[in-house]
Structure 1
Amino acid sequence: MLATFVIGLREGLEAALIVAIIATFLRKNGRRLTTMWVGVVAAVIICLGVGITLKVVESNLPQRQQEAMATVIGVVAVLFVTGMVLWMSTHARELKKDVESAASSALGSGTSRALVLMAFLAVLKEGFETAVFLLATFQAASSTRSAVIGAALGIGASMLLGVGIYTGGVTINLGKFFTVTSGFLILIAAGLVVTALRTAHGAGWLNAGQGRTVDLHWLAPPGSVRSAVFTGVLGIPADPRLIEVLGWLLYVVPLAAIAYWPRAHRPDAAAKVFLKVLIAFGCLVGAATTFVAVPRAHLTAPAAAPVSDAAGVSAGTISLDGSTLRQSAGERTTLRAAGDAVVAGVRTHHLVATPHPGTTQPTTLTLAEVIALNGGRPPVGMDPALNPGPYAASWHRQDRIDVWTTHGIVYAASRQSRLTVQLTGGGLRSPRTLTVSSGAHLPAGVTAPAPAWTVPSSYSDDISARLNQLVNQQDSAHFWGRVVPAGLVFVAVLLLVTAGRDRRDLSQTSRTTQDESSSSRSTAHA
């Protein structure tokens, strides 16, 4: 409530002050106030429409889109507050005088339309800023109802002060008022910076710097007054992340220094130019350092993947060498691409192989060979007396290796091998199919089916965890090694441009002063 009260009071008073001054000028000059009030009401309605529209649109979005919109609104609100604080730090003392001067000039033109437009634009500007700022604060507040009440009370108080200024019954030291409230707004805006960074993470835009820093639950336990102050008013969470702490400090420290640096010790125009160039140079050095120093992300994984048989017993390891699958038992198999596939949420390349033994298998089997294939027993349904053989044998071998890789390493793999023989003739009335087990006694020329194996799920889970870690490392490397340097370069360029402009203004002022001095000396000699 306190945060939104100050916002409503501060923003509302600025608009009320301008409207009160304009109304006073119109009244003193015998002009009606009806048109001015129409403009003020129209501006208020437009601002209410903007705020309601933003709220309705946001509430109807999916969760991730809500987080994204909250981030955008928070950033815009922070920019508004920052601009207002910086402008007020140099213009607060002369605000009333500037407005009165502009009103006198407009009225001197013989028409009040300019004053009406001035009132409309002033209310529209402050109202739009208030709508965005309050909406961002409502999103971060623990109680929306209290936040709305605080905003209403603040705006109501600003309207009463505006009426008092208009009637002459209230006098406010605007310099002190805006100086005191600027500090509070800086802290509120810093809380919005923290909230915007957190919603940006929820929207999937910012995944770097999410490590926990300190636990503030002891300082602001849920439901306590301290929690209402820290979380509800200042927007400081009980579990701030690293990027949030940095964002808070990088916002509060410079802005507070600009707003509250003693006027007697503030640098002059030439010193400001030098200071901007110096800070720009520091930003460029920092950008180059972070660009070079931040390491690239890389995946660390075992060189070989373990495999186990159907009973879960270790069956050695496998590894990839290009398109060749190497097994610890010494077997080498050439794989071929079979497209891409998503396995347990991981994008992989699918490789397959169908090994062939390369031997000629017998086309006939005796009864003894069939019994040996079946583990020393006649197959079910075969009577040696009625089906003495020999039998025509048709062999069918199925041997398939599937390997799924990601980032050039094995993610999952399996081998399925099966050998069957179809028997006909030898007294059999119908074909019989016999599945050959891996431990069976095989006739000459028949290769045993390869043992089946698979990569354990525990290994795949470990690779998944490493992949998630890689994604976090890539996000961090991109942010600290690319985004931060780009931001520092942008700040440096902005400072250098403003420093160049200030230097030109300073040179022009110096030349003007010299010309005036020369003119004065010439007049004195004359």
Structure 2
Amino acid sequence: MIGALIIALREGLEIALVVVIMLAYLRKSNQSAMNVYVFSGLVLAGITSLLIGGGIVAIWGSVEEVVLEIFEGVLVVIASLLLTTMIVWMKRKGKEISSDIEASIEGKLQTEGRWGLALLSFALVLREGVEIVLFTAALVIREGYQTYIGLTLGLVLAAGIGIGIYRGSLEIRFRTFFKWTSAFLILFAAGMLAYGIHELQEAGFLLIGPLEIWNINPPALPGGAVHPLHEDGFIGGLAKSLFGYNGNPSALEVASYLSYILVMGIYFFKKREKDSVPSVSKDLKDETPSKRL
């Protein structure tokens, strides 16, 4: 649930930033009457994302067990790769978000008018919405339906933060927020990748079978209770949810997990000349007093 909350908070905040930047530009250019088209695109993107999620659920419930294991494994691996592209994109392009969106708004208004603005809002939000759908599906496979609790809390919190930013009552240290959530997401994506490989091995989809290299899961306690450090126990389950902990992994799981962390860790913490940090329009900050969060 915690993993779902953090991912939903980050993805939801990216959606909030897109909407806030668009609304700030319209307010700055005295076109606030067109806000309704931004919200129209937002709502339509949300509905489309839900329909995509419904399609995944329909496929999920209609395939046979063996195919289902392969489907789940492939879905989790795709989600981990998508998470990777998000981390890399934010590292490289995050600082340009505000200027890119404002330039796109100006271009859409000049060439396509108000409906172009709605289409831009739809496209930008849909990208994040599809990511949320895929991540949620992957998390439900791993953690069950408690994922939806974390998802809901994260999105509600992100919406509240977005409203606070737009009204000028909050200002987020985006550099710190995206840095630490990206570091967490590297570990999280590594766990998802390893779990997806585990599912594909169990289904016999990979040529390399699930060769167990160790088993440190504590034995069952008297009465059938699960030890807290077991991967299904409280502490082990939390580590499994956040970092992909597995008490009895295969060699390929461990190799993929460590390789992913090594490659992404080197890339992420490599010093850049200028950090990429998304920002809300400076004009929005200047219009209203803000309080540092």
Normalised by the shorter chain, which TM-score bucket?
0.7 to 0.9
Letter in 1 for 2:172: I
**Residues 1:254 and 2:263 aligned together:** yes
- 1:22–1:115 Cα contact (<8 Å) kept: no
- Per-residue CA deviations over 1:447-474 (Å, capped at 9, x if unaligned) read xxxxxxxxxxxxxxxxxxxxxxxxxxxx
Q: 1:217 deviation in Å?
A: 1.4
Match of 1:15? 15
- Per-residue CA deviations over 1:415-441 (Å, capped at 9, x if unaligned) read xxxxxxxxxxxxxxxxxxxxxxxxxxx
Mapping of residues 31-110 of structure 1, within 5 Å: 31-107=33-109
Q: 1:147 deviation in Å?
A: 1.3
Match of 1:243? 252
Runs (4+) of structure 1 exceeding 6 A deviation are none
Letter in 2 for 1:26: L
Residues 90, 265 of structure 1: alpha-carbon distance in 2 compared, 3 angstrom cutoff: closer
Q: 1:234 deviation in Å?
A: 2.0
**Structure 2 stretches lacking a partner, 5+ long:** 219-227, 276-293
Match of 1:471? none
- 2:6–2:154 Cα contact (<8 Å) kept: yes
Letter in 1 for 2:253: E
- Per-residue CA deviations over 1:313-364 (Å, capped at 9, x if unaligned) read xxxxxxxxxxxxxxxxxxxxxxxxxxxxxxxxxxxxxxxxxxxxxxxxxxxx
Give the strand-richer structure, 1 or 2.
1
Q: Residue 272 of structure 2: which of 263, 266, 285 is its match?
A: 263
Paired with 2:95 and 2:241, the residues of 1 have a C-alpha distance of 31
Partner SS state of residue 44, structure 1: helix
TM-score of the two chains, using structure 1 as the length reference: 0.47
Partner SS state of residue 215, structure 1: coil
- 1:220–1:238 Cα contact (<8 Å) kept: no
Residues 203, 210 of structure 1: alpha-carbon distance in 2 compared, 3 angstrom cutoff: closer
TM-score of the two chains, using structure 2 as the length reference: 0.83
- Per-residue CA deviations over 1:50-100 (Å, capped at 9, x if unaligned) read 112212321232111111111221122122111110011122233233323
- Per-residue CA deviations over 1:239-281 (Å, capped at 9, x if unaligned) read 0100000111121111121111223699xxxxxxxxxxxxxxx
Residues 168, 108 of structure 1: alpha-carbon distance in 2 compared, 3 angstrom cutoff: farther
Match of 1:151? 151
Partner SS state of residue 90, structure 2: helix
Paired with 2:235 and 2:14, the residues of 1 have a C-alpha distance of 31
Paired with 1:210 and 1:49, the residues of 2 have a C-alpha distance of 35
Paired with 1:5 and 1:172, the residues of 2 have a C-alpha distance of 18
- 2:79–2:135 Cα contact (<8 Å) kept: yes
Residues 170, 115 of structure 1: alpha-carbon distance in 2 compared, 3 angstrom cutoff: farther
- 1:92–1:175 Cα contact (<8 Å) kept: no
Q: 1:190 deviation in Å?
A: 0.9
Which structure is richer in relative contact order (CA contacts within 8 A, separation 6 or more)? 2
Paired with 1:204 and 1:222, the residues of 2 have a C-alpha distance of 23
**Residues 1:115 and 2:117 aligned together:** yes
Q: Give identity over the alignment, percent.
A: 28
Partner SS state of residue 183, structure 1: helix
Paired with 1:36 and 1:25, the residues of 2 have a C-alpha distance of 11
Match of 1:493? none
Q: 1:8 deviation in Å?
A: 0.5
Match of 2:213? 213
Paired with 2:112 and 2:72, the residues of 1 have a C-alpha distance of 46
Partner SS state of residue 211, structure 1: coil
Q: How many equivalent pairs are there? A: 264
Instruction: Give 1 or 2 for the bigger CA radius of gyration.
Output: 1
Q: 1:3 deviation in Å?
A: 0.4
Give the helix-richer structure, 1 or 2.
2
Q: 1:14 deviation in Å?
A: 0.9
- 2:41–2:120 Cα contact (<8 Å) kept: no
- 2:108–2:120 Cα contact (<8 Å) kept: no
Letter in 1 for 2:75: I
Q: 1:197 deviation in Å?
A: 0.6
Q: 1:223 deviation in Å?
A: 4.9
Mapping of residues 221-232 of structure 1, within 5 Å: 221-232=230-241
